[in-house]
Structure 1
Amino acid sequence: MVVHNPNNWHWVDKNCISWARQYFEEKTAGVKSAPNDSKSVEITSLSSLEGDCEVSQRKGKVISLFDLKVVLMMKGNVDDEDFEGSITIPEIAFDSERDDYQFEISIYKETGKSSKARPLIKEEILPQLRDIFSKFGPELLQAHANDIQVPSSQVASEFTKGNLQQPQTSGSVSPAPTVSKALPKSNENVKTSSASGSSNAPLYNTTTLHLEPTFNVPAIELYQTFLDKQRVQAWSRSPLISEGSKSSIEKGDEFTLFGGNVTSKLVECDLGKRLVFEWRLNEWRKGHSSVLAMEFHESKEYHETKLQVTWSGVPVGEEDKVKGNFMDYYVRSIKLTFGFGAVL
């Protein structure tokens, strides 16, 4: 990467969020507990990564600035009963210490038996994840520091040349991971003052959100609450505008909610198990839609359904707005309207 920064004096940023996403995909997938005849747990994939991740330099000094929320998917078994779930890490930050990381463990369709996996997750999986997260900062700098500086041979200033040291980090720095070579350069650019005018450029940089609200209702009832038009109009407190006179939304149907502020289309449905919608705010640029995928996990033993929401294609900068609106105007409103759970 070519950087025009005489004497490495000016502030230069490199966006490394795509690199971070692939880093955690590669490092966390396959993390598992020790072999055990009765219990096992394994991380299967990265569900979502939100936040900011940059490497910056000024006056020869290189630093990393990142604040990330990570959601990992897992699977396992207890006494031949299989389960799936997720582990959410609300904050992985540049100034976090190894023991600072907090973990939210969620087991889908949880039973008394599958809940016995929680101690195993805490004792064997979380320490491995702490190790991975604590190495992220040093390896981020190792992989990207050289991209935002000119070589020391081109630096005349003794002041900045004196700062051209390997970035100081806590702990040892391992060799740069190979993930940095696999990423398209267009996703990780040094910030400049001019934007590309290419007509082929995406309408937005996007991210993926992961939510897991819980409802005290069978999965099939919650499933129908998103499709039955009378129910939708009740919890949305607005007319549902769509073509046709059917009482329920069907695959391929497009409709609007909240006074026309939201346009949605049902693109996939699996009775009582899964719904997928194309979803857009009408204030978004024309032609851009996100994908709202919902999976319904019912725990008959605990009389509740966990709604696993994976929301991809959300424009960067709109995450809090989209998440807040969904929790207020969908989740909270459904609970208040039909009594499907406590409202905080």
Structure 2
Amino acid sequence: MASTIPQPMAPSTANWHWKNKTVTSWAKQWFDRELTSVRVSGDGSEEVTVSRVVEVDGDVELGQRKSKLITIYDCKVVLNWSGTASDGTAVEGKLTIPEVSHENTLDGTSDYVYEWSLTTSRSPAVDALFQLAKSRLPAALEAKFSTFPAAIIDTHGKDLTVSADPSRQGTPVPSGAPSGSASGSTAAKKADAAPAVKKTEKANNTTTVTVDAHFMAAADDLFSLLTDERRIPQWTRAPAKGAAEPGKEYSLFGGGVTGTFVSVEPPKQFVQTWKLSSPTWPSDHTATLTTTLDQGSDSTKVTWQLDGVPLGIEEEITRNLNGY
């Protein structure tokens, strides 16, 4: 009997699913190389440099979802800085930056914090150089930090993206979805590992796809996690926009999903128009997503019902809803 050779997924389909790559070791080398090139000067002969990267503690990953590459990182960075005061004194100190993350680098949802210390004996000239370091090094460092996400993508993006070019090599098999938090992680822990999926065909070449799952979290906390633009990036790892109010537009996954809130009934239900940015989704077509939360004694059942799914892509949309 002849065997059937599995055919590879089309790039538009393969690039839809979540994949990620841990690049923490590379990131430590990047910080060491790039930050030690930072140098600022005063109005006279004073100069301050980053002399050494002492510690980079945290995780750095690159994810690929819905054909978009997403940087995921949160690091504590500890530096030694040094300089020469106006009287020629060699000055040294330490700088700790507790959080270098996507949230403060690109999203702007939190500010950088700088914890300074001076190891050289104090004098007026030394103090002046210390003030120079505190006033000018942060801007120079933040300029470097702003290039970090692009460096991750430029270096590692090719390992996650399937190209339509047949000369390109295949990508790794998809890994699990990214961890989230409900205050981060609590709401992301599913009590039921296999969400139920239902499909109901309708007229005019569309159908309804329904997915439900149980979460070990309160309904009001889940409702906030799913609708608050400040909390959504905790689980999508991508920018989100839009207030959960009827008539307000929203955007998820950096514009991968867009629409308008139709109705909002916290903490039980919200309804949204739903439009997908995908080669398989008709550009002028909008569906309706109804999210219902049913609080139980020890968990909350969440049901997503998407009405108006074009026939032929139901399996793809079901997988997307499960990932969502």
TM value normalised by structure 2: 0.43
Higher helix share: 1
TM-score normalised per structure 1? 0.41
